[in-house]
Amino acid sequence: MPRHIFDRPQIIAAARRILDADGLGALTIRALAADLGTGPASVYRHVSNRQELLQLVADDLAQELPMPDMSLEPRNRLIAGWSELYDFFGARPWLVELLAAGEVVSDHASPLAAAQLATLEELDIGREEAGRVYQSLNALLIGVLCSSHPYAHGVRSHGESMDRRELFVWAVERFL
């Protein structure tokens, strides 16, 4: 029986498979090892702990973040950009859990950040204010996404409640 060989890319791919299929709670070192056809100890040959594994997955995913569509005029570019970002995260609830838990800081997201900041500066918005707007919209994004598992302060009273995505887009437009 040959001893198994696998590297970080394979581990990350397996981890993402498990995350997409069964969520953050299912991504166990043991489940990951089983998926790779080995025991938990072997995973630690390539990854120093679960924390680092999550960080690696986040960095891997950051490279797939949707970049803004430069063919749109600035304001629409921002709105469309954040909408796509909503869909990106919305399709991966485990990623929201990961960010909300604050266990991950991906610097691989900086190209997108730079693009969005540049677009903000194309509006009448000043450099420093652009930074604040950027941070606010990101906070709004994760806040709305967290509420997707509907939790706090339920206010679906007045009229038919808006879809979470619609609410986010509405808020982005209002904020800009």
Partner DNA sequence: ACCTGAACACCGTTCAAGT
Q: Quick one: which of 21, 26, 67, 105 contacts a copy of itself (CB under 8 A)? A: 105
- The single residue listed with the structure tokens 């693009």 is 115
When CB distances are held under 5 to 8 angstroms depending on the partner's kind, the choice from DNA, a copy of itself, none that residue 170 binds is a copy of itself
Q: Smallest distance from the beta carbon of 23 to DNA, in angstroms?
A: 12
When CB distances are held under 5 to 8 angstroms depending on the partner's kind, the choice from DNA, a copy of itself, none that residue 95 binds is none
Q: Rg of the Cα trace of the chain?
A: 19
* Binding footprint of a copy of itself, residue count (CB under 8 A): 51
**117-136 residues near a copy of itself, rule: CB under 8 A:** 117, 127-128, 130-132, 134-136
Q: Is 45 in the site for DNA (CB under 7 A)?
A: yes
Q: Smallest distance from the beta carbon of 71 to a copy of itself, in angstroms?
A: 24
Q: Smallest distance from the beta carbon of 130 to a copy of itself, in angstroms?
A: 8
Summarize as ranges the residues that interact with a copy of itself (CB under 8 A): 97, 99-107, 109-110, 112-113, 117, 127-128, 130-132, 134-136, 138-144, 146-155, 157-159, 161-162, 167-168, 170-171, 174-175
